[in-house]
Copies of this chain bind each other. A is one copy, B any other.
Amino acid sequence: MPPLADEEMTGAESLLRTLVAAGVDTCFANPGTSEMQFVAALDRVTGMRPVPCLFEGVATGAADGYVRMSGRPAATLLHLGPGLANGLSNLHNARRALSPIVNVVGEHALSHRQFDPPLTSDIEGFARPVSAFVRTAQDVGELGRDAAQAVAAARSTPGVATLIVPADVGWSKGGKVAAPMHAVPPRGVDPARIAAAASALKSAKRPALLMSGRALLRAPLELAGRIAAATGARLYCDFLAPRLERGAGLVPVRRLSYFGEQVLEELKGTDLLVLIEADPPVAFFAYPGKPSELVPPGTLALQLARRTDDGVSVLAALADLVGSGGEVPRQALARPELPKGALTPSSAGAVITALLPENCIVVDESVTAGLALVPMLQGAAPHDWLAQTGGSLGLGLPMSAGASLACPGRKTICLTGDGSAMYTVQALWTLARERLDVVTLVFSNRAYAILNYELQRLGAPAGPAAAGLLGLARPELRFTDLARGMGVEASRVETAEAFASELRSALATPGPRVIELALG
């Protein structure tokens, strides 16, 4: 245990030691001058691993991946308002994933800010839309406590906590390490409500569970499988789920579709939809004349556990109440033949499904290709699947870095579109820098392809201006070059056979690797 108070300790050091004491061991960092006292303190504090990132959106997305796979909060270190601003998009995704992240953001010294130097901005204003906790530290003696409260807030919500630290608060002596503080656990649900839901499930003709959040890990899925066996309930998960354990041998859940009319079709005939750590399904976007709410008119939607409630204990209680009966559904292994010829989302999906190693982590930002590809992986070897949660592109590559850091013994496979990869392409450098065991598959369709669908759905013809804005073919992006430029070995494939061969080689070799799939 480090000393709890030391007249010689800087505020920065007290903050780092407090984070470590609270179980935060990794800090994704892109510091500047106003954070140099934290950089210096890292050399005096053991137990905190700094991970350099060349762009702040990499830091925040990696923190989210680390949190999702470790189950513990992660920290970021960001430079003033603009540094935080660069990380906001992935903090939006983290907020939607309920991922506990503690941002440490430098600020001008309290004595300096009044002069409005160029980098001055409203940092609290930037932080508020994504943060459940925002505080600007005022006193070096309180900074440890501020940090402990930030961690507790991040764990309690769970969500994003932003602690803004003026440079002089960080560099002054008189820091005090604070002990970890109590985090509010997820709220339990009234047993009477659970009992009523159990009765409703048993009497429903065609019930279903829609789950998200913590309910999608292996153990709660077993509980859901028992409920399905006893009641005939079908099991669904959100289109965007923070983490799903799936694959052969696990209890399978069907992911709701992206497009609203497909969701309505999927849920058609369901008389009771019990929501566990999930909200009633809504359309991702609105379209003229199409519905926003995706609960069919004849379906009763019952939100038994809200997203922040303890859905796992709800499932356990439900499973006991509905009793046993029938067989728990299990996903069969479905290893497709290795396809030959044209490289399409489907043939690529068959290759990945066939070769996916057991216990790997699949990070998914494959967008258009994913519509065909992701359902196929259901029958692959068991794996963790991490999805987009807030819909803001640029999460995939950074999240892979964070997930891999959290699980050093496991292979991570990142599925990304070409358009989506470009938002935070700097993550490749961090993969190389930390020698992370991540295979990145870039599905190159040379367009923001999903937007061509969306334009059609709006009923608008795609003229030359629209085509110009949605196309990525002029010039073509070469991810092999981009990867090599950041120190990552890379190759490009144009057939299913070549892809199978490259993927096999990448899976057999530790370390970062990029495969660009030139889709036909």
Contacts and interface: CB of A to CB of B under 8 A. Distances in A.
Given A419-B54, A480-B485, A89 B96 contact: no
Interface stretch (A38-46, A187-195, A337-345): A38-46
Nearest to A77: B469
Interface string A456-487: 00101111111011101011111111101111
Contacts of A96: 118
Interface string A388-419: 11111010000000000000000000000001
Interface string A375-392: 000000000000011111
Q: How many copies does the complex hold?
A: 2
Nearest to A481: B485
A87 to B, nearest CB: 9
A465 B118 contact: no
Contact of A82 (B88, B111, B426, B482): B88
Contact of A478 (B83, B286, B450, B484): B484
Given A39-B455, A55-B422, A82-B89, A122 B116 contact: no
A425 interface: yes
- Of the listed residues A121, A167, A389, the one surrounded by the most CB atoms of chain B closer than 10 A to its CB is A121
Given A92-B82, A486-B477, A285 B392 contact: no
Interface stretch (A29-37, A178-186, A216-224, A318-326): A29-37
A86 B477 contact: no
Contacts of A474: 433
A291 B479 CA distance: 48
A243 B62 CA distance: 37
A466 B77 CA distance: 13
Nearest to A12: B460
Contacts of A82: 88-89, 92-93, 390-392
A73 interface: no
A128 interface: yes
A390 B118 contact: yes
Contacts of A111: 286, 292
Nearest to A106: B285
Interface stretch (A155-163, A201-209, A244-252, A276-284): A276-284
Interface residues of A, number: 100
Contacts of A487: 475-477
Contacts of A422: 54-55, 426, 429
A477 B470 contact: no
A167 B130 contact: no
A39 B458 CA distance: 11
A83 B472 CA distance: 18
B116 A282 contact: yes
B117 A171 contact: no
A50 interface: yes
Given A469-B39, A475-B432, A451 B33 contact: yes
Contact of A460 (B36, B130, B167, B392): B36
A475 B486 contact: yes
A129 interface: yes
A283 to B, nearest CB: 7
A292 B112 contact: yes
A465 B39 contact: yes
Contacts of A437: none
A36 B390 CA distance: 19
Interface in A15-57: 29, 31-34, 36-37, 39-40, 42-44, 50, 52, 54-55, 57
Nearest to A472: B54
Contacts of A50: 465, 468-469
8 contacts: A33-B284, A37-B460, A40-B455, A43-B465, A81-B92, A117-B285, A171-B458, A480-B485
Given A39-B470, A481-B481, 10 more contacts: A33-B285, A39-B451, A39-B455, A39-B460, A40-B461, A57-B86, A86-B89, A115-B292, A121-B130, A429-B475
Top 5 closest A-B pairs, CB basis?
A475-B487, A43-B463, A481-B485, A82-B392, A40-B460
